[in-house]
């Protein structure tokens, strides 16, 4: 295995691939799995060696992993992620940063960094990640992949380490759109679903935050896509500004991750990498009152998006405001 491939996988990787069902919609496909999902007989590390050492091997596969195996996929390994999934850069101070095969020398994006790197390098046909605040979408953009964050709550998270359950959802990467769809038909029970798409909304307030070069390239792609949609309009996602939405997400995320890992951090004093340590320190200061206030803003944001995205509507906005940083 080349260094490009190897950097995507954790040191405590599987001793051997795990074959899926002999027949199924994913038969013949290989998958790499983010080190947040339990795989029976192995330990789940969540990007942090101290967490790995403190926990026993998993007794069973995570629900999403089980579905993929039942669908015929072969699991080839567990991939590196940002520790406790608390970053979108893809850097890990303990295991190293996976190489971005599409842009060596640039960050792969996170927190599903290794999964994206493995898929982009051709180490697997698709890779399982998770998305809380961009952890599939950002690595997909940085590594030149197709990636999807499904609707929250559509896929069972049992057997996966949580980050912020109000936002956590499994997601996946593929280099080919047909493979992305086949995985969705297994994980989402979405076979045969058809959408009558007719309207494209360009989200101007999101485009305004993107670098000029990124916005220009995306608009060219959107122009091509829009030929198949009869109606194209411009609108703002957040008429009163995106900052309240960003802050409410930050507060809820911090409150929930501290609820999941605060006791471990206080009792075990694990080694935390730069950035992660500071975010955990902030999370420790967020009160339930702070989170309740943020949830009210979250509710307003959800209502706004539901109003904006009517049946048959596609919204287009930049996944990330810039190309992959160095």
- Residues with catalytic roles: 34, 111, 135
CA distance 73 to 69: 5
What string of DSSP letters covers 21-58?
Answer: -SSSTTTT-EEEEETTB--TTS---TT-HHHHHTSPPP
Q: Is 233 exposed, middle or buried (0-12, 13-18, 19+ CB in 10 A)?
A: exposed
CA distance 180 to 28: 14
User: Could you give the count of Cα atoms lying within 13 Å of 128 in the half-sphere of its Cβ?
Assistant: 34
CA distance 158 to 186: 16
The CA-atom distances, in angstroms, between 302 and each of 141, 240, 288 are: 24, 14, 20
Among 58, 61, 76, which residue's Cα sits nearest to residue 14?
76
Among 248, 267, 273, which residue's Cα sits nearest to residue 85?
273
Q: Which two tokens stand for residue 65?
A: 């992993």
Q: Which two tokens stand for residue 116?
A: 């994206």
* CB-based contact 198:312 (threshold 8 Å): yes
CA distance 140 to 96: 19
- Give the rounded distance of the alpha carbon of 282 from its chain centre: 22
């Amino acid at each position: 295995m080349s260094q490009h491939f190897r950097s995507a996988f954790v040191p405590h990787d599987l001793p051997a691939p795990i074959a899926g069902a002999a027949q199924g919609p994913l038969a013949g496909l290989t998958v790499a799995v983010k080190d947040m999902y339990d795989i029976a007989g192995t330990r789940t590390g969540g990007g942090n060696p101290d967490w790995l050492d403190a926990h026993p091997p998993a007794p069973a596969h995570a629900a999403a992993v089980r579905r993929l195996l039942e669908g015929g996929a072969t699991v080839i390994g567990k991939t590196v992620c940002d520790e406790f999934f608390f970053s979108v850069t893809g850097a890990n101070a303990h295991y190293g940063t996976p190489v971005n095969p599409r842009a060596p020398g640039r960050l792969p994006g996170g927190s599903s960094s290794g999964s994206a790197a493995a898929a982009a390098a051709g180490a697997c046909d698709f890779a399982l990640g998770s998305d809380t605040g961009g952890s599939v979408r950002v690595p997909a953009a940085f590594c030149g992949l197709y990636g999807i964050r499904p609707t929250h709550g559509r896929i069972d998270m049992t057997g996966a380490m949580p980050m912020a359950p109000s936002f956590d959802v499994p997601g996946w990467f593929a280099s080919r759109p047909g493979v992305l769809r086949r995985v969705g038909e297994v994980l989402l029970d979405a076979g045969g679903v058809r959408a009558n798409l007719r309207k494209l909304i360009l989200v101007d307030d999101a485009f305004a935050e993107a670098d000029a070069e990124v916005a220009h390239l995306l608009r060219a792609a959107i122009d091509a896509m829009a030929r198949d949609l009869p109606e194209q309009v411009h609108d703002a996602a957040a008429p009163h500004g995106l900052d309240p939405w960003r802050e409410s997400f930050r507060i809820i995320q911090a409150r929930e991750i501290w609820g999941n890992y605060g006791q471990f951090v206080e009792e075990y004093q694990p080694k935390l990498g730069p950035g992660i340590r500071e975010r955990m320190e902030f999370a420790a200061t967020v009160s339930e009152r702070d989170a309740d206030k943020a949830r009210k803003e979250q509710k307003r944001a959800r209502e706004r998006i539901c109003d904006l995205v009517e049946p048959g509507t596609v919204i287009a906005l930049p996944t990330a405001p810039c190309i992959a940083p160095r």
